[in-house]
Amino acid sequence: MRTIRPADLSYEIVRSRRLTADIVVERDGRVVVRVPQSTPNQRIEDLVEAKRYWIYKTLAEWRDVNATKVLREYRNGEGFLYLGRSYRLTLAGEQDEPLLLKGG
């Protein structure tokens, strides 16, 4: 795996036993280019350049989705959404039983 950083776009190259090339924006915002093992570097750069608009558009959508991400603190009474309902966190000290969601 190799990371390339042109002037304004960073991406990782993963070479594997596959027949086609693939560009993916991962959940953490990384851009990964998967290509067959025999693909020359110039061909990869041309592919990324041809898909530059799509990559920027997808990264912008990723930033919009993750901009509303709420940071939670794990303390008593903190609210958490689970399957469309809100639950309050209750911290327990030492426990012999595994974690359990009660009342829902």
Which pLDDT band holds residue 5 (cuts at 50, 70, 90)? low
CB 48 within 8 A of CB 59: no
Whole-number Cα distances in Å, 83 to 6, 77, 80, 87, 103: 42, 18, 10, 10, 13
3-state secondary structure of 57: helix
pLDDT for position 28: 86
* Structure-token pair, residue 31: 């851009």
- Per-residue pLDDT for 6 more than 60? no
By CB atoms closer than 10 A (0-12, 13-18, 19+), residue 32 is middle
pLDDT for position 54: 94
Span 50-71, pLDDT tens digits: 999 999 999 999 888 877 766 7
pLDDT for position 104: 60
CA nearest to 31, candidates 62, 54, 55: 55
CA nearest to 31, candidates 23, 39, 42: 23
Span 67-97, pLDDT tens digits: 776 677 788 888 888 888 888 888 777 877 7
Span 41-51, pLDDT tens digits: 999 999 999 99
